[in-house]
Chain A
Amino acid sequence: MSGGTSEYSIAADGSFTAPLELSYPYKRTVGPILSRFLTGLRDQRIEGTKGSDGRVHVPPAEFDPITGEHLTEWADVASTGTIVTWSWQPAPVEGNTLQHPFAWALISLDGADTNVLHAVDAGRADAIKTGMRVTARWADEPSGSITDIVCFDLTSGSPA
């Protein structure tokens, strides 16, 4: 982890404070479900898994939330969707995909029954509203990560 305080200081009681920057530099295997989802993002394709009740989970659920069974059936969903709720990030932090003020949002992608959390490049807080339509902006150099979607852009139009 990084992004914490990085200053050396000496407190009133004489205690010396120094930065401690921990990182987590490991490779992880994400399993068959997330592997397919993240590989899809690399190819600008968004897929979800279908639950026992027919609901499409995006990001994909590995296990059915109702029965606990492994989920194996997939469904393509659109890279367009509708804002379900949002908040405003006035001061981006290290690791955010955008480095200027932006909105966080839960987005209901067309064809999905659960919501995706992502950034929306709305420009100003008064430019975004719940119910607005958005489209994924894809990274120029995809890596098989949720950040292959850089953010969503506000668009006009109605649900596909």
Chain B
Amino acid sequence: MREVAIIASAQADNTSTTTSTPVEMLIPVIQQVLANASMTKTDIGFWCHGSCDYMTGQPFSFVSAVDALGAWPPIIESHVEADGAFALYEAWLKIQTGEIDTALVFGNGRSSSGDINRILTLQLDPYVVGPLWPDDRSIAAMQARACLESGVVTERAMAEVAQRNHRNALTNPKALRSGDHSIEALMAAQLVADPLRELDCPAHADGVTAVIIAAGDRARSLVARPAWIRGIDHRIESQNLGNRSMTTLPSAALAAHKAGVGNDKIDVAELHAPYSHQELLLTTALGLSESTTINPSGGALCANPMMSAGLARFAEAATRVMNGTADRAIGHASSGPWMQQNLVCVLEGE
């Protein structure tokens, strides 16, 4: 295996609404990530993009995103209809082939173009679930109740997750929301999708994240302390909600095992858990202990920019390895109802 590291990242401010086009949103972040690595466009061997046509409401919308990169002289680029974190996985594989040494990966989405809870319905089975139009919150709420009634989580533990993430987001200028809430206030808040409260739910946002990865000595020559990808693994569960565990995340546990999460201590874990109870399920699935700092950024509860929230977790984890606050960290991305897909990445400093 070739050694590959994250060497730079950049994020747009997450906003609840924007009138900018995807290209207008992308350009400053692409320029910023290149500047952060002291690189120019011609230093990039491969460009890989994560976005979703359902977010923009137009087919092949990713083609126009190439305008933000500049396609002349010709570039090698690819796209995944998924969060940018999955584009990073593709770029990592591309580097493994030996064809390239560097890649710029980015994800973007504008959740505010439509009703995001309704748009997410379109990811469900189109024959026996979709025609009923259950929204994203309702689907998550059914899982939350199953977890509560089985004793896997408690309402208080969910409130503690919401409290910690919102407190952590106070120091994240990119977050969409933050605050210092008491457990009592959180538990007394109105139910928006029984048993979920507003701050148990993701803060859907418009956002962009970009990351540069590089191989071996190329990475070492560009930055002082690259965040080395020591393991990365992607696992998927059934699309049939009626035949899945609601109280465990076997795909996350398997991905964590394959990525080598348990081989050593984890200082920081940036987890893409859209709902508070899901962070608790994920923490268990990954086998994390009390010594791991979870979501110092505030996580998806405080900013969930569709198609870049997972890559933002990678960026946040990598930043902490690169600046020396963590030696070993997890970047995690999820997708689908009840975190159907899980991508786990272990990052280490040298």
- Taking Cβ atoms with an 8 Å cutoff, the residues of A that contact B are 1, 3-5, 11, 13, 15, 17, 20, 22, 30, 34, 37-38, 57-59, 61, 65, 84-90, 93-97, 104-106, 114-119, 125, 130, 145-147
Contact = CB atoms under 8 A, between A and B. Distances in A.
Q: Which 10 A-B pairs have the closest CB atoms?
A: A87-B141, A95-B133, A115-B242, A15-B19, A88-B194, A85-B146, A59-B128, A4-B114, A114-B242, A114-B243
Contact of B242 (A37, A95, A106): A106
B116 to A, nearest CB: 10
B246 interface: yes
Contact of A85 (B128, B134, B145, B238): B145
Interface in B184-231: 191-196
B191 A5 contact: no
A116 B132 CA distance: 12
Interface of B: 19, 57, 113-115, 118-119, 122, 125, 127-129, 131-135, 137-139, 141-146, 149, 191-196, 238, 240-243, 246
Which of B125, B135, B246 has the most chain A CB within a 10 Å cutoff? B135
Contact of B142 (A30, A86, A146): A86
Contacts of A94: 133
A147 B133 CA distance: 10
Given A4-B115, A15-B19, A117-B134, A87 B195 contact: yes
Contacts of B149: 85, 130
B242 A116 contact: yes
Contacts of B196: 87
Contacts of B114: 1, 4-5
B138 A22 contact: no
A3 to B, nearest CB: 6
Contact of A104 (B134, B240, B246): B134
A105 B138 CA distance: 9
Contacts of A22: 57
A120 B146 CA distance: 17
A38 B125 CA distance: 14
A97 B118 CA distance: 15
Nearest to A57: B243
Contacts of B122: 1
B204 to A, nearest CB: 14
A115 B133 contact: no
B161 to A, nearest CB: 18
Nearest to B56: A20
A130 B145 contact: yes
Given A88-B193, A89-B138, A17 B19 contact: yes
A147 B242 contact: no
Given A59-B240, A93-B118, A104-B134, A86 B128 contact: no
A67 B77 CA distance: 37
5 contacts: A11-B19, A85-B143, A87-B139, A114-B242, A117-B132
B128 A119 contact: no
Contacts of A13: 19
A2 B252 CA distance: 34
B154 to A, nearest CB: 16
B133 A88 contact: no
A51 to B, nearest CB: 9
B20 to A, nearest CB: 8
A106 B142 contact: yes
Residue among B131, B138, B139, B191 with the highest chain A CB neighbour number at 10 A: B138
Nearest to A13: B19
A147 B132 contact: yes
Given A34-B128, A118-B132, A146-B132, A106 B241 contact: yes
Contact of A114 (B127, B134, B144, B240): B240
A95 B240 contact: no
Contacts of A3: 115, 118
Nearest to B20: A15
Contact of B127 (A4, A34, A84, A106): A34
Contact of A38 (B127, B133, B137, B238): B127
A70 B203 CA distance: 41
Contacts of B118: 1, 3-4, 93
A59 B232 CA distance: 34
Contacts of A97: 132
Q: Which of A57, A85, A146 has the most CB of B within 10 A?
A: A85
A77 to B, nearest CB: 12
A3 B141 CA distance: 22
